[in-house]
């Protein structure tokens, strides 16, 4: 729920105990009492601190706690066994026999949206479309609110699409996230009793007299558990919401059939898209599923000290009631309130970006609705994620392809970028990508004139979107959600710092993944990034290490292990040839730059005696060539220094190299390197011996 952690004036005045505030007869129809909780059951709600030392007894208690937690979750699933699921055929049969209700709802929607469209048309003809934009945006927000939950969800989706809506609409529609009308408290309290099979005063010692927040599907109360005193957020579903949403999707699906049949300009299966959206919305109606989403999210991402995910209280959760740990905090877009707590918005946004990248590209399971109301800054400086009704997943192949796509973008390899769209499922395998390459080149050659820190993510997304929509692309749902997630975070940061760029904040994560991930696709992408035209790009490696070290999960021990493994593999012959050439070049640079430095330190009278007064020293090299040798040597030293300066640096990093040097293939590799070095140095000295003296003038 959007503002679970927001301060509530009614709560701060003090909640009245239920036994005193609510008439007993209100709940007298319910005779079930709360089963007494054992100390072990209480541990379900208050597990031991992960940092505490664990002896055998604490491990046993933790195991018992987890077992009780699973049992409580199983009981919650039993309570939700009859939860509503999306079935278009069942919905069609239900409302197909109710023409009066269908016609009434259709007219209500047409009148509301038709009048709004007419106002926009009149504004355009009168030349006041821009001047009235704020007024019309507010009217559209009110229309969506009056039309009910389905259109509120639609408005919420539009509020995070700056590519579709002007800023005024984004601001107005964003109020649909958590500022919606409430339904009567009596209905909410009755729903809690009915769903849990318990009287309200047997579960809670106190509860807020009115909702803390209200969203499209339900509203939230702040309460205190009677048995433990823990503060919780209790989300209660709106009454009759299944019927309301079902009727709207029946009508929208009918419109989809019409579009599929008569609108040729739209090539996608609109009905399939509607069904997918409806399926997600109906999943949100099952609060047990949302609780399971929260549990999975917490397991994957709350291992970081600056990420907070509330616990679920399964004994007080059902399909229509969700009880979760209360989280104190303020919305991430309330900059002044955050700063009053001594926190920085940009630090929290950076935390959100790093967590989002882990969600999208590491585990693939991500929060698909990260609007400001679902992201709270806690007083301890943590970023709290709330409302896990809408989740999505990035396919495994696509995760690696996205990182590889970034590498191809950096290399300006537009042919490879175009081929990435197969793995990203943007294009069918039979689509020819060759016409796409010039369009990508035209756009990115201009965009990449900016530095990474200057390139705005939204600008990049908008420009790429213009390129994509010229061709038969099918943008997957997960990709649209990824863009929305990162665009929302960048938008939040821009309130605090107009110069903030999400791409610059994301680059350390990409660098770390490239340097440490053994995934074959990413390993090849790293090699592609580091080698060009048969030469190793030491500057790229240095930059990757500098950026990667900014990610706190970076470990020097794992850095470059992927490249090392492929170098030593049977399939690494091509890479070994490149490494041999580079090893010869680096060794030559070390040798000759050292000779040059030594020569410079020799007194002038010794130079005259030993080198016959040759100003160039013992080796014939131009000043530019000498400088390049010195720069290469110094760059290698800097890279080694970056690895050594890492907190977790371990000389064992070199053990795989030492081990492979003992193998026959490695000895042949070493012989080839030494042979190449000997040839290069011999050629240098032979040139020195046979040099033609410069005539004196």
Establish whether 303 is a catalytic residue.
no
* 45 Cβ contact partners less than 8 Å away, ≥ 6 residues apart: 225, 228, 230, 311, 313
Q: Are strands 307-308 and 365-367 parallel, antiparallel or unpaired?
A: unpaired
Alpha-carbon radius of gyration of the chain:
32
Tokens of 72: 């409580």
The DSSP call for residue 474 is -
Calculate the alpha carbon distances from 580 to 119, 199, 400 in Å: 72, 77, 29
C-alpha distances in Å from residue 206, one per residue of 200, 227, 230, 235, 394: 9, 12, 11, 15, 42
Cβ atoms of 329 and 384 within 8 Å: the answer is: yes
Phi/psi at 45 (5° precision):
-90, -20
| Pairing status of strand 535-536 against strand 531-532 | antiparallel
Instruction: Give CA angle at 579 (575, 581), nearest 5°.
Output: 120
- Report the helix count and the strand count for the chain, using DSSP H and E: 30, 13
Query: What's the rounded Cα separation, in Å, for the pair 455 and 208?
Result: 47
Residue 235 has φ and ψ, to the nearest 5°, of -95, 130
Positive/negative CA dihedral, 100, 102, 103, 105: positive
Encoding tokens for residue 94? 């239900």
Exposed/middle/buried for 222, CB within 10 Å: 0-12, 13-18, 19+? buried
Q: 290 and 73 in contact (C-beta within 8 Å)?
A: no
Residue 118 CA to residue 581 CA, distance in Å, equals 71
Dist CA 634 CA 83 (whole Å): 66
Provide the angle, in degrees to the nearest 10, between the axes of the packed helices 436-447 and 414-423.
Answer: 110
Distances (CA, A) of 7 to 16, 222, 618: 17, 10, 77
Contacts (Cβ under 8 Å, ≥6 apart) of 643:
545, 556, 559, 649, 653
From the list 369, 387, 420, 517, the catalytic residue is: 369
Residue with tokens 């099979």: 197
Tokens 């009066």 correspond to 100
Q: What is the DSSP letter of 429?
A: T
Which residues does the annotation mark as catalytic?
A: 369
């Amino acid at each position: 729920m959007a503002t679970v952690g927001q301060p509530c004036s009614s709560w701060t005045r003090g909640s009245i105990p239920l036994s005193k505030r609510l008439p007993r007869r209100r709940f007298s129809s319910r005779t079930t009492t709360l089963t007494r909780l054992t100390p072990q059951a209480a541990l379900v709600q208050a597990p031991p601190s992960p940092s505490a030392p664990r002896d055998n007894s604490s491990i046993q208690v933790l195991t018992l706690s987890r077992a009780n937690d699973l049992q409580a979750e199983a009981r919650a699933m039993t309570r939700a066994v009859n939860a509503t699921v999306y079935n278009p055929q069942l919905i069609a049969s239900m409302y197909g026999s109710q023409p009066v209700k269908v016609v009434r709802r259709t007219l209500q929607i047409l009148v509301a949206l038709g009048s709004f469209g007419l106002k926009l048309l009149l504004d355009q003809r009168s030349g006041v479309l821009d001047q009235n934009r704020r007024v019309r945006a507010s009217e559209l927000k009110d229309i969506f609110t009056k039309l009910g939950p389905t259109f509120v969800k639609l408005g919420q989706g539009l509020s995070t699409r700056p590519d579709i809506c002007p800023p005024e609409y984004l601001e107005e529609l964003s109020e649909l996230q958590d500022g919606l009308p409430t339904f009567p408290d009596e209905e909410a309290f009755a729903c809690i009793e009915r769903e849990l099979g318990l009287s309200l005063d047997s579960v809670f010692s106190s509860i807020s007299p009115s909702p803390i927040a209200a969203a499209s599907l339900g509203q939230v109360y702040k309460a205190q558990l009677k048995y433990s005193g823990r503060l919780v957020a209790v989300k209660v579903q709106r009454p009759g919401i299944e019927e309301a949403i079902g009727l709207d999707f029946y009508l929208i699906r009918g419109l989809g059939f019409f579009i599929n049949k008569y609108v040729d300009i739209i090539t996608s299966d609109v009905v399939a898209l509607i069904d997918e959206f409806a399926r997600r919305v109906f999943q949100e109606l099952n609060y047990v599923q949302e609780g399971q989403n929260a549990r999975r999210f917490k397991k994957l991402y709350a291992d970081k000290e600056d990420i907070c995910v509330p616990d679920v209280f399964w004994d007080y959760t059902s399909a229509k009631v969700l009880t979760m740990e209360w989280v104190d905090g303020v919305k991430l877009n309330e900059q002044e309130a955050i700063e009053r707590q001594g926190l920085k918005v940009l630090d929290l946004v950076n935390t959100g970006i790093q967590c989002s990248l882990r969600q999208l590209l590491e585990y693939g399971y991500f929060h698909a609705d990260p609007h400001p109301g679902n992201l709270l800054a806690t007083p301890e400086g943590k970023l709290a994620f709330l409302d896990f009704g809408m989740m999505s997943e990035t396919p495994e192949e696509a995760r690696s392809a996205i990182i590889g796509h970034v590498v191809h973008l950096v290399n300006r390899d537009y042919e490879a970028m175009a081929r990435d769209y197969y793995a990203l499922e943007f294009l069918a395998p039979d689509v020819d990508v060759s016409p796409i390459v010039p369009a990508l080149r035209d756009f990115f050659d201009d965009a990449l004139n900016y530095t990474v820190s200057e390139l705005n993510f939204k600008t990049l997304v908008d420009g790429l979107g213009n390129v994509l929509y010229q061709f038969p692309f099918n943008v997957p749902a997960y990709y649209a959600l990824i863009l929305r997630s990162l665009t929302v975070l960048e938008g939040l940061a821009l309130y605090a710092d107009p110069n903030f760029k999400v791409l610059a904040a994301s680059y350390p994560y990409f660098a770390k993944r490239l340097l440490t991930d053994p995934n074959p696709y990413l390993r090849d992408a790293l090699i592609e990034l580091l080698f060009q035209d048969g030469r190793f790009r030491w500057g790229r490696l240095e930059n990757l290490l500098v950026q990667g070290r900014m990610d706190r999960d970076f470990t020097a021990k794992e850095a470059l292990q992927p490249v090392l493994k492929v170098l030593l593999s049977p399939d690494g012959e091509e890479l070994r040839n490149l490494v041999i050439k580079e090893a010869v070049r680096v060794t030559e640079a070390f040798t000759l730059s050292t000779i040059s430095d030594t020569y410079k330190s020799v007194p002038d009278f010794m130079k005259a005696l030993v080198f016959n007064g040759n100003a160039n020293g013992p080796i014939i090299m131009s000043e530019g060539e000498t400088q390049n040798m010195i720069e290469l040597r110094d760059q290698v030293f800097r890279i080694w220094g970056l690895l050594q300066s890492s907190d977790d640096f371990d000389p064992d990093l070199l053990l795989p190299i030492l081990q492979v040097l003992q193998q026959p293939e490695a000895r042949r590799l070493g012989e080839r390197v030494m042979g190449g070095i000997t040839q290069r140095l011999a050629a240098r000295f032979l040139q020195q011996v046979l040099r033609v003296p410069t005539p004196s003038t």
